[in-house]
Amino acid sequence: MQITRFWIIPLLAFFLFSGAGCLNLGGTKSQQGVKDGGVYKSIDGAAKWSQSVAFPSAKGVGSVGTTDVLTMTFDPSDTKTLYMGTKENGLLFSYDNGVSWQYPGDSQLKEGGVRSIAVDPADICTVYAVSGTRLYKTETCSRRFQSVYQEARSGVSPRRVALDWYQSDTVYLGLSNGDILKSTDRGVTWLTLFTVKGEVTQLVVSHKDSRILLVGTGGGLFKSVDAGVTWTKMEEALKPFKEGEDIFSLVQSEDGSIILAATKYGLLRSKDVGDSWEAVKLVTAPGQVIVRAVAMNPTDPQTIYYATSSTFYTSIDSGVTWKTQKLPSSRSASILLVNPEHPEVIYLGVTKIEK
Q: Give pTM, 2 decimals.
A: 0.91
Give the tens place of pLDDT for each residue, 276-294: 999 999 999 999 999 999 9
**Confidence (pLDDT) at 355:** 67
Q: Are 127 and 106 in contact (CB under 8 A)?
A: no
Residue 31's pLDDT band (cuts 50, 70, 90): very low
Residues 223, 224, 228, 230, CA torsion sign: negative
Q: Are 244 and 274 in contact (CB under 8 A)?
A: no
**Confidence (pLDDT) at 19:** 37
Using the CB atoms, write b or e for 161-187: b if 16+ within 10 Å.
bbbbeeebbbbbbbbbbbbbbbbeebb
Lowest mean pLDDT among 9-13, 236-240, 263-267, 345-349: 9-13
| pLDDT surpasses 90 at 186 | yes
For residues 332 and 146, what is the distance between their CA atoms, to the nearest angstrom?
Answer: 32
**Confidence (pLDDT) at 352:** 97
Taking residues 301-321, what's their average pLDDT? 98
C-alpha closest to that of 52 among 347, 260, 285: 347
Higher pLDDT, 7 or 174: 174
Residue 33's pLDDT band (cuts 50, 70, 90): low
Higher pLDDT, 295 or 32: 295
Query: How confident is the prediction for the chain on average, in pLDDT?
Result: 92
Give the tens place of pLDDT for each residue, 39-64: 999 999 999 999 999 999 999 999 99
**Confidence (pLDDT) at 354:** 80
Up-side HSE of residue 287: CA atoms within 13 Å toward CB? 6
Q: Is 101 helix (H, G, I), strand (E, B) or coil?
A: coil
Report domain 68-195's class: mainly beta
**Confidence (pLDDT) at 164:** 99
**Confidence (pLDDT) at 34:** 82
C-alpha closest to that of 115 among 126, 129, 133: 129
| pLDDT surpasses 80 at 32 | no
Give the tens place of pLDDT for each residue, 98-145: 999 999 999 999 999 999 999 999 999 999 999 999 999 999 999 999
Q: Where are the domains of the chain?
A: 68-195
| pLDDT surpasses 80 at 263 | yes
**Confidence (pLDDT) at 87:** 98
Question: What residues contact residue 319 under an 8 Å CB cut-off, 6+ apart?
Answer: 267, 269, 280, 281, 282, 304
**Which run of H or E residues covers position 219?**
none
Q: Where are the beta strands (DSSP E) in 76-133?
A: 78-86, 91-94, 116-119, 127-131
For residues 344 and 43, what is the distance between their CA atoms, to the nearest angstrom?
Answer: 6
Burial-class residue 292 by CB neighbours within 10 Å (0-12, 13-18, 19+): buried
Burial-class residue 30 by CB neighbours within 10 Å (0-12, 13-18, 19+): exposed
CA distances from 120 to 43, 75, 168, 253 (A): 26, 8, 6, 19
Tell me the Ramachandran region of residue 262: left when phi exceeds 0, alpha when psi lies from -120 to 50, beta otherwise.
beta
| pLDDT surpasses 50 at 181 | yes
Q: Are 104 and 145 in contact (CB under 8 A)?
A: yes
